[in-house]
Amino acid sequence: MPEGIVLIAWPLLLVAAYLLGAIPTAQLVAARRGIDLRQVHTTNVGAGNLSRHMGMRWGLLVALADVSKSFLPVTAANLLGFGPGAAGMVGVGAVVGHNWSIFMRGRSGRGLAPSAGLVLAIDPALLLWVMGWAISGWWMRGGIAGFMGWGLLPVVAVTLGRPSTETVMIVVLSAVLMIRRAQGNVDSEGGFGPTMERIFFDLDKVVDEIPLTIDEPLTP
Protein backbone atom coordinates (compact mmCIF):
# COMPACT_ATOMS: atom_id res chain seq x y z
CA MET A 1 0.00 0.00 0.00
CA PRO A 2 1.41 3.44 -0.89
CA GLU A 3 2.75 5.35 2.11
CA GLY A 4 0.40 8.29 1.51
CA ILE A 5 -2.65 6.04 1.68
CA VAL A 6 -1.32 4.41 4.87
CA LEU A 7 -0.93 7.82 6.54
CA ILE A 8 -4.59 8.56 5.79
CA ALA A 9 -6.20 5.12 6.18
CA TRP A 10 -4.69 4.13 9.55
CA PRO A 11 -5.87 7.19 11.55
CA LEU A 12 -9.31 6.95 9.95
CA LEU A 13 -9.56 3.27 10.86
CA LEU A 14 -8.43 4.06 14.40
CA VAL A 15 -11.10 6.73 14.89
CA ALA A 16 -13.78 4.55 13.27
CA ALA A 17 -12.81 1.63 15.54
CA TYR A 18 -13.05 3.83 18.64
CA LEU A 19 -16.51 5.08 17.68
CA LEU A 20 -17.68 1.56 16.86
CA GLY A 21 -16.35 0.29 20.18
CA ALA A 22 -17.97 3.20 22.01
CA ILE A 23 -21.49 2.13 21.01
CA PRO A 24 -22.96 0.95 24.35
CA THR A 25 -24.53 -2.22 22.99
CA ALA A 26 -25.44 -3.71 26.36
CA GLN A 27 -26.88 -0.43 27.64
CA LEU A 28 -29.03 0.00 24.55
CA VAL A 29 -30.40 -3.52 24.91
CA ALA A 30 -30.99 -3.05 28.66
CA ALA A 31 -32.89 0.15 27.92
CA ARG A 32 -35.60 -2.01 26.31
CA ARG A 33 -36.58 -3.00 29.85
CA GLY A 34 -35.85 0.31 31.49
CA ILE A 35 -32.62 -0.92 33.09
CA ASP A 36 -29.57 1.29 33.54
CA LEU A 37 -26.59 -1.06 33.80
CA ARG A 38 -24.59 1.71 35.47
CA GLN A 39 -26.87 1.39 38.49
CA VAL A 40 -27.13 -2.39 38.96
CA HIS A 41 -24.81 -5.14 40.23
CA THR A 42 -21.28 -4.54 38.86
CA THR A 43 -22.32 -1.25 37.15
CA ASN A 44 -20.33 -2.35 34.08
CA VAL A 45 -21.92 -1.68 30.72
CA GLY A 46 -21.18 -5.09 29.26
CA ALA A 47 -22.61 -8.46 28.35
CA GLY A 48 -21.85 -10.03 31.73
CA ASN A 49 -23.88 -7.51 33.69
CA LEU A 50 -26.64 -7.57 31.09
CA SER A 51 -27.03 -11.36 31.30
CA ARG A 52 -27.85 -11.12 35.02
CA HIS A 53 -30.90 -8.99 34.26
CA MET A 54 -32.06 -10.09 30.81
CA GLY A 55 -30.85 -13.67 30.60
CA MET A 56 -27.97 -15.58 29.05
CA ARG A 57 -29.35 -15.39 25.51
CA TRP A 58 -29.25 -11.61 25.45
CA GLY A 59 -25.88 -11.64 27.14
CA LEU A 60 -24.46 -13.97 24.49
CA LEU A 61 -25.87 -11.89 21.62
CA VAL A 62 -24.38 -8.71 23.04
CA ALA A 63 -21.06 -10.45 23.68
CA LEU A 64 -20.90 -11.48 20.02
CA ALA A 65 -21.73 -7.92 18.97
CA ASP A 66 -18.95 -6.62 21.23
CA VAL A 67 -16.48 -9.13 19.78
CA SER A 68 -17.29 -7.79 16.31
CA LYS A 69 -16.49 -4.23 17.43
CA SER A 70 -12.79 -5.01 17.16
CA PHE A 71 -12.83 -8.04 14.87
CA LEU A 72 -14.35 -6.13 11.94
CA PRO A 73 -12.02 -3.09 11.92
CA VAL A 74 -8.95 -5.29 12.53
CA THR A 75 -9.99 -7.56 9.67
CA ALA A 76 -10.39 -4.47 7.48
CA ALA A 77 -6.88 -3.36 8.47
CA ASN A 78 -5.55 -6.83 7.63
CA LEU A 79 -7.19 -6.71 4.21
CA LEU A 80 -5.62 -3.31 3.57
CA GLY A 81 -2.20 -4.84 4.19
CA PHE A 82 -1.35 -3.48 7.63
CA GLY A 83 0.99 -5.54 9.79
CA PRO A 84 -0.15 -7.21 13.03
CA GLY A 85 1.05 -4.29 15.15
CA ALA A 86 -0.74 -1.54 13.21
CA ALA A 87 -3.85 -3.65 12.62
CA GLY A 88 -3.90 -4.66 16.27
CA MET A 89 -3.73 -1.05 17.44
CA VAL A 90 -6.89 -0.41 15.44
CA GLY A 91 -8.50 -3.09 17.58
CA VAL A 92 -7.09 -1.49 20.73
CA GLY A 93 -8.90 1.66 19.65
CA ALA A 94 -12.17 -0.29 19.71
CA VAL A 95 -11.36 -1.64 23.19
CA VAL A 96 -10.64 1.88 24.46
CA GLY A 97 -13.96 3.03 23.00
CA HIS A 98 -15.76 0.17 24.72
CA ASN A 99 -14.09 0.88 28.08
CA TRP A 100 -14.38 4.68 28.01
CA SER A 101 -17.26 5.46 25.70
CA ILE A 102 -17.80 9.02 24.56
CA PHE A 103 -21.51 8.20 24.41
CA MET A 104 -21.52 7.16 28.07
CA ARG A 105 -19.42 10.13 29.23
CA GLY A 106 -16.93 7.96 31.07
CA ARG A 107 -16.07 4.39 31.96
CA SER A 108 -18.43 1.76 30.64
CA GLY A 109 -17.45 -1.83 29.78
CA ARG A 110 -14.44 -3.89 30.81
CA GLY A 111 -13.20 -4.62 27.28
CA LEU A 112 -13.02 -8.42 27.46
CA ALA A 113 -15.26 -9.21 24.48
CA PRO A 114 -13.71 -6.67 22.07
CA SER A 115 -10.25 -7.78 23.24
CA ALA A 116 -11.17 -11.35 22.34
CA GLY A 117 -12.26 -10.16 18.90
CA LEU A 118 -8.94 -8.37 18.44
CA VAL A 119 -6.85 -11.42 19.36
CA LEU A 120 -9.06 -13.65 17.21
CA ALA A 121 -8.39 -11.45 14.19
CA ILE A 122 -4.65 -11.04 14.81
CA ASP A 123 -3.42 -14.25 16.43
CA PRO A 124 -6.07 -16.90 17.23
CA ALA A 125 -3.50 -19.12 18.95
CA LEU A 126 -3.10 -16.57 21.74
CA LEU A 127 -6.84 -16.74 22.34
CA LEU A 128 -6.40 -20.32 23.57
CA TRP A 129 -4.41 -19.00 26.55
CA VAL A 130 -7.06 -16.40 27.37
CA MET A 131 -9.99 -18.78 26.96
CA GLY A 132 -8.27 -21.40 29.08
CA TRP A 133 -8.00 -18.97 31.97
CA ALA A 134 -11.54 -17.72 31.37
CA ILE A 135 -12.84 -21.27 31.80
CA SER A 136 -10.63 -21.75 34.86
CA GLY A 137 -11.96 -18.51 36.32
CA TRP A 138 -15.55 -19.65 35.80
CA TRP A 139 -14.77 -22.97 37.49
CA MET A 140 -12.80 -21.43 40.37
CA ARG A 141 -15.01 -18.35 40.56
CA GLY A 142 -11.84 -16.35 41.13
CA GLY A 143 -10.87 -13.01 39.63
CA ILE A 144 -7.18 -13.97 39.56
CA ALA A 145 -7.88 -15.91 36.36
CA GLY A 146 -8.64 -12.68 34.52
CA PHE A 147 -5.26 -11.27 35.47
CA MET A 148 -3.51 -14.50 34.50
CA GLY A 149 -5.27 -14.56 31.13
CA TRP A 150 -4.96 -10.93 30.03
CA GLY A 151 -2.36 -9.45 32.36
CA LEU A 152 0.25 -12.08 31.46
CA LEU A 153 -0.64 -12.27 27.77
CA PRO A 154 2.44 -10.18 26.79
CA VAL A 155 4.66 -12.77 28.51
CA VAL A 156 2.99 -15.51 26.47
CA ALA A 157 3.52 -13.51 23.26
CA VAL A 158 7.24 -13.10 24.03
CA THR A 159 7.59 -16.78 25.00
CA LEU A 160 6.01 -17.87 21.71
CA GLY A 161 8.33 -15.60 19.75
CA ARG A 162 5.71 -13.32 18.27
CA PRO A 163 6.92 -10.37 16.11
CA SER A 164 8.01 -7.33 18.10
CA THR A 165 5.28 -5.09 16.67
CA GLU A 166 2.60 -7.61 17.67
CA THR A 167 4.13 -8.01 21.13
CA VAL A 168 4.14 -4.26 21.72
CA MET A 169 0.48 -4.12 20.67
CA ILE A 170 -0.34 -6.93 23.13
CA VAL A 171 1.45 -5.00 25.88
CA VAL A 172 -0.70 -1.93 25.14
CA LEU A 173 -3.87 -4.05 25.08
CA SER A 174 -3.00 -5.67 28.40
CA ALA A 175 -2.29 -2.26 29.94
CA VAL A 176 -5.64 -0.90 28.74
CA LEU A 177 -7.48 -3.84 30.30
CA MET A 178 -5.56 -3.66 33.60
CA ILE A 179 -6.08 0.11 33.87
CA ARG A 180 -9.82 -0.32 33.39
CA ARG A 181 -9.85 -3.17 35.90
CA ALA A 182 -7.93 -1.03 38.40
CA GLN A 183 -10.56 1.72 38.10
CA GLY A 184 -13.35 -0.59 39.18
CA ASN A 185 -16.79 0.90 39.70
CA VAL A 186 -17.54 4.61 39.78
CA ASP A 187 -17.86 4.51 43.57
CA SER A 188 -14.93 2.13 44.16
CA GLU A 189 -12.63 2.71 47.10
CA GLY A 190 -9.39 4.46 46.19
CA GLY A 191 -5.88 3.81 47.44
CA PHE A 192 -3.04 1.44 46.56
CA GLY A 193 -4.38 -1.61 48.39
CA PRO A 194 -7.91 -1.65 46.93
CA THR A 195 -6.50 -0.91 43.46
CA MET A 196 -4.12 -3.88 43.64
CA GLU A 197 -6.97 -6.10 44.83
CA ARG A 198 -8.99 -5.09 41.77
CA ILE A 199 -6.08 -5.71 39.39
CA PHE A 200 -5.07 -9.10 40.71
CA PHE A 201 -8.27 -10.49 42.21
CA ASP A 202 -11.06 -8.37 40.67
CA LEU A 203 -12.42 -7.66 44.15
CA ASP A 204 -14.72 -4.68 44.16
CA LYS A 205 -17.89 -3.27 45.66
CA VAL A 206 -21.17 -4.58 44.25
CA VAL A 207 -24.12 -2.21 44.33
CA ASP A 208 -27.83 -2.95 44.65
CA GLU A 209 -29.10 -5.30 41.94
CA ILE A 210 -32.56 -3.74 41.66
CA PRO A 211 -32.95 -2.46 38.07
CA LEU A 212 -33.41 1.28 37.85
CA THR A 213 -34.99 3.26 35.06
CA ILE A 214 -32.62 5.06 32.75
CA ASP A 215 -32.95 8.78 33.29
CA GLU A 216 -29.83 9.98 31.48
CA PRO A 217 -29.27 10.37 27.75
CA LEU A 218 -26.99 7.87 25.99
CA THR A 219 -25.47 10.51 23.74
CA PRO A 220 -23.74 13.79 24.55
Residue pLDDT, tens place only, 85-107: 999 999 999 999 999 999 988 88
**What backbone torsions phi and psi does residue 50 show, to the nearest 5 degrees?**
-60, -40
Residue 213 has pLDDT above 60, yes or no: no
Global pTM reads 0.86
d(CA 94, CA 80): 18
pLDDT (average), residues 186-205: 79
Residue 120 scores a pLDDT above 50? yes
pLDDT of residue 210: 40
Distance of CA 155 to the CA centre of its chain: 19
